[in-house]
Structure 1
Amino acid sequence: MEYYNIGDVQTIKVEATNLHSFVCYGSIVQTIRVEAAKLHSFVCGVTGLRNVNLIGCAGIRNLSFSTACLAGQWFEDLIPKLPLLESLKLDCCYGVKDIKIRNQQIKYLDLNCRVD
């Protein structure tokens, strides 16, 4: 498992052939870009995160965000691109006002979003 504990980094870019799990906590990060075909788990607790690009990460089974500032439309666009997604957790995600989740594989759904 790769574990990143970051501080004052604005952009994180990860390209990894064999990366299975990505866990990232910190503050001030605005953009995360991950390109990892074998990624199964993406867990992100980055305060104020505004842009996430998961390139070629269709194998994600576990997706978790806390304290991010991502729009509901972003999630609606992403979820259909993750056909194996089983677990989705959104905790204290600001900016999610409306969200439609359509995925036959989801077995665990935990939503705790704020609109302020």
Structure 2
Amino acid sequence: MTAPATVEEYLAGFPDDVRTILENVRQAIRNVIPDADERMSYGIVRLEIVGRHAIYFGGWKKHVGLYPIPGLDDELESLIAPYRAAKDSVRFPYAKPIPYDLIERVTAHIAGR
């Protein structure tokens, strides 16, 4: 199977319920960085600001992941801690409500906005 060339192709490859979640994650990120360029990279979506990466997101079997998520200030880190999967990534299970507002706050921190 050929890897998707565009974000739209990537999203179209998911079941409707997961695609909706991924589209909402995409929109939450775009709410903060509307000027970001979107590309496929490493098989997932990368949003860049002025030629540098800002944030990646990808859909998996049971969760949506965001990468890389650096150490955050104490308040934000305490909110993201339940979702930490590794030092620099987070996972939001599809089976639970996705905290889109938290995704926006993390994106703002990463983008310096």
Higher relative contact order (CA 8 A, sep 6+): 2
Same fold (TM over 0.5): no
Normalized per residue, the structure richer in strand is 1
